[in-house]
Structure 1
Amino acid sequence: MSAADTLRSMPFKLRQHSALPGFGLTFGFAVTYLSLIVLIPLSVLVGRASGLGIEGLWETATAPRTAAALRLTFGVAFAAAALNAVSGFVVAWVLTRYAFPGRRLLDAMVDLPFALPTAVAGIALTAIYAPNGWVGSRLLPLGISVAYTPLGIFVALVFIGLPFVVRTVQPVLADLDREIEEASATLGASRVQTVARVVLPALAPAVLTGFALAFGRAVGEYGSVIFIAGNMPFVSEIAPLLIVIQLEEFNYTGAVALATIMLAISFMALLVINLIQAWSRRRFGHV
């Protein structure tokens, strides 16, 4: 039984004997810090929106323009995170399992979306995928328009979300015991069977964590999207931009209501992902 399993099987006590002192101080700091940074601001947001009531929030969420923006935001964010989960796994696999010239440079390039300002990323992507851009001009004769379309939003969200999956999967993959893979091959399993039945189950929690992080970042992304999206209502207008528009029009109630709706949808989506992640850890924890 692992240390984590041992802790989960122990009865809960507010004060537990530990070899390391300072539980009360660190626990108090953690609760206070999270309250000031996360809980209190979100509570104020929900409190402001509660004045509208359930009917007011539902009316805001089902307004045609708002509903279109929410569908686009969460739908494209989910698709981008799903693609990043697959491609991020492949990139992490290459960086971890193979030695080749330029590997360190490729590894450093993964972190560029972290360091690059989102506005710069948006301008760069727009310049490349615009109809007169280097890539956009070659796709246009094929009938493919990227910039100023939902496809452009998808490209931007894939760009900013990839590092979350790679950096989450990479250390877990590096710590994965290769002897298990060799034992699988010794027992007659093919390479595909070894990956499907040995490697992927062990990496499933890490991949889901990376997916959740990429999805959460994509839902709230603003800077890199507004340049390439075109921001046309009912076509390429994202929910964060709609909140900004509400604020510019001094419609603070509408902005708070829309922000609360996004918060509720994001919370439910991440809760489902975390439940799936917990199930995968219980199911494949022995791998």
Structure 2
Amino acid sequence: MSLFGKTRRKVLPGFGLSLGFTLAYLSLIVLIPLSAAFIKTSGMTWDAFVQAVTSPRVVASYRLSFGVSFLAAAMNAFFGTIVAWVLVRYTFPGKKIIDALVDLPFALPTAVAGIALTAIYAKNGWLGGYLEPLWAKGVTTLDANAPGAWKDWLGLRIAFDRPGIFIALTFIGLPFVVRTLQPVLEEMEPELEEASATLGANRWQTITRVILPELTPALITGSALAFARALGEYGSVVFIAGNQPMHSEITPLLIITKLEQYDYRGATAIAVVLLVVSFTLLLLINLLQKWSRRHHALV
């Protein structure tokens, strides 16, 4: 009841109608299309499903997609923290432009990003012509200490090899970390750092004992989002990866390849594996966000 004795009107209709509309909309847009993958896969026997998702070529694509996605998320966790800190804590000319550039991977079509990165890091590109000889020499030197291991994993080229995949996944994952950390940094009072310095803590102690504990929940959430986004990325990677089976072929590309070969059940089987992993990651991200909100509420 309001102060005038009248019932306060709600913007949306009643809970039942709103919930029904929400469930219907999500079913049409999300649940029904995704369930088609499970329905298509259900026509396979268990042995055929296991064989389809555990063949050597598929396992190699899992290893590449999960491994490089994790490395890209770790890289973004480190540099994304620095970028978010600079954007929140400092004022400098061109700050708004740099802040807008952080969102560029969101707005830029993934195919355009892949073509641009390839043009830059290819052997005849703006940076590739200078970096690739140095990279190949460095990898060969590492390979001398561990024959075959580093060269097979890293590759001697930047574009059209695994380093190119890493660059593309780092590019598309950076905004998730920065945008997750920025609100937390904005809520952190600079007085905490000043109090830490007043009590005799050096800069490293202030970072590790004052700042990082506050940022850890948001940092984990942003890194998990970047990892989940990188795991399903296709457009920006396919142009720069080289797409060599058993070496630089990511799992989303393998799904497309099987569709082109009319192996629909094999493609949907691999898609189901990625779908289950992605759903698990999203569930973990939601739990992390809940933990983060509870953590800040207690603080």
Structure 1 spans left out of the alignment, 5+ residues: 1-17
- 8 Å CA contact 2:225–2:285 kept in 1: the answer is no
Counterparts of 1:167 and 1:273 in 2: how far apart (Å)? Answer: 15
Larger radius of gyration: 2
Letter in 2 for 1:187: L
Of 183, 190, 193 in structure 1, the residue corresponding to residue 195 of structure 2 is 183
Counterparts of 1:57 and 1:80 in 2: how far apart (Å)? Answer: 30
State the superposition RMSD in angstroms.
Answer: 2.3
Is residue 157 of structure 1 aligned with residue 169 of structure 2? yes
Letter in 1 for 2:28: L
Name the CA shift for 1:84/1:262 in 2 (closer, same or farther; >3 Å).
Answer: same
Aligned to 1:194: 206
Match runs of 1:120-139 below 5 Å: 120-139=112-131
Of 73, 77, 80 in structure 2, the residue corresponding to residue 85 of structure 1 is 77
Match runs of 1:161-240 below 5 Å: 161-240=173-252
Counterparts of 2:80 and 2:93 in 1: how far apart (Å)? Answer: 20
Letter in 2 for 1:267: F
SS in 1 for 2:93: coil
- 8 Å CA contact 1:165–1:207 kept in 2: the answer is yes
Give the TM-score normalised by structure 2. 0.82
- 8 Å CA contact 1:85–1:207 kept in 2: the answer is yes
Aligned to 1:9: none
Aligned to 1:141: 133
Counterparts of 2:74 and 2:80 in 1: how far apart (Å)? Answer: 10
- 8 Å CA contact 1:205–1:278 kept in 2: the answer is no
Letter in 1 for 2:189: D
Name the CA shift for 1:176/1:70 in 2 (closer, same or farther; >3 Å).
Answer: same
Give the TM-score normalised by structure 1. 0.85
CA positional deviation for 1:253: 0.8
CA positional deviation for 1:277: 5.4
Structure 2 spans left out of the alignment, 5+ residues: 1-7, 137-155
Name the CA shift for 1:49/1:83 in 2 (closer, same or farther; >3 Å).
Answer: same
My pick for the range that moved more, 85-94 or 179-188, is 179-188
Name the CA shift for 1:47/1:136 in 2 (closer, same or farther; >3 Å).
Answer: same
Of 43, 56, 59 in structure 1, the residue corresponding to residue 51 of structure 2 is 59
Map Cα deviations across residues 193-236 of structure 1 (whole Å, 9 max, x no partner): 22222222222222222112211211111111111011110111
Name the CA shift for 1:153/1:276 in 2 (closer, same or farther; >3 Å).
Answer: same
CA positional deviation for 1:110: 1.0
SS in 2 for 1:229: coil
Is residue 47 of structure 1 aligned with residue 39 of structure 2? yes
Is residue 94 of structure 1 aligned with residue 86 of structure 2? yes
Name the CA shift for 1:229/1:192 in 2 (closer, same or farther; >3 Å).
Answer: same
